[in-house]
Amino acid sequence: MILLGVGCYGLIPLILITDSKKEILLKNYNSFTVNYIERKSQQNSKVNNQWVVSPHKYRNDPYKPPTNIKAIISRQPSKTSQKTDLNSADSQNLVKLPGIGPTLSARIIKYRNKLGGFYTREQLKEVYGIPDSTYEKIKVQLEAQPTSIKKICLNLVDEKTIATHPYVGWNDAKIIIRYRQANGYFKNAEDLASVWAMDKKNLERLLPYLSFDTTYK
């Protein structure tokens, strides 16, 4: 509106003066208009991606900088939350998980020690007292680093060490020891499968915890 008013005001003398003076006035008018637009543009320019706000308030200015800061922040990508490693988490870390209190955290650690570590987060469902609903709620916050798995050297350990593993038991431990005494060392998983009356599924979940080495390291 200001620009329009100034323009109309500047054109009135053109009607009343001679052609020679019209040219001078037109030059002055054009110079004034360009300078005004440049100042207006500078007031709303961006420097280093930050708005330069002029002292006066913008009302109907289409270049007015955004004022809804909360909306801008909410569109920023959030940092990925760090997952809880089941093999290194202590009781303080575990109780922070929804539905896991001091009792369940103690059971998780105790079961982890018996296993020799978790190689998949799904094994958490084997811990007594953890319902499926709780596991489904927290599984996205969990991970299991298999590099920290403690292995059983099948050719060197005694019967008790094998039997106390949650996936074995005393009856199967006796079979393993008797075969080893009669036939020598187990060379691989196929040797174990040939003498062990365990279904394939149970054998597969035990294999990550076994070593067929013949010497201690």
CATH topology for 84-148 is DNA polymerase; domain 1 (1.10.150)
Q: What is the pTM of this model?
A: 0.61
- Say if 84-148 and 152-211 have the same CATH topology: yes
What CATH homologous superfamily does 152-211 map to? AF1531-like domain (1.10.150.280)
The per-residue DSSP string of the chain comes to -HHHHHHHHHHHHHHHS-HHHHHHHHHHHHHHHHHHHHHHHHHT-EETTEE---SSPPSS-TTPPP--HHHHHHTSPPPPPPPEETTT--HHHHTTSTT--HHHHHHHHHHHHHHTS-SSGGGGGGSTT--HHHHHHHGGGEE--GGGPPPEETTTS-HHHHHTSTTS-HHHHHHHHHHHHHH----SHHHHHHH----HHHHHHHGGGEE--SS--
Domain ranges of the chain: 84-148, 152-211
Contacts of 3 (CB under 8 A, 6+ apart): 33, 36
How high is the pLDDT of residue 85?
Answer: 95
Sequence letter at residue 157: V
Dist CA 103 CA 100 (whole Å): 8
Spans of the chain below 50 pLDDT:
3-4, 6, 14, 16, 25, 34, 45-59, 63, 69-80
How high is the pLDDT of residue 119?
Answer: 95
Tokens linked to 16: 């009343």
How high is the pLDDT of residue 31?
Answer: 58
How far, in Å, are 49, 106, 150 from residue 77 at the CA level? 19, 36, 38
How high is the pLDDT of residue 46?
Answer: 45
Q: Is the dihedral of CA 40, 42, 47, 52 positive or negative?
A: negative
* Model confidence pLDDT, tens digit, residues 187-207: 999 888 887 767 778 888 999
How high is the pLDDT of residue 194?
Answer: 82
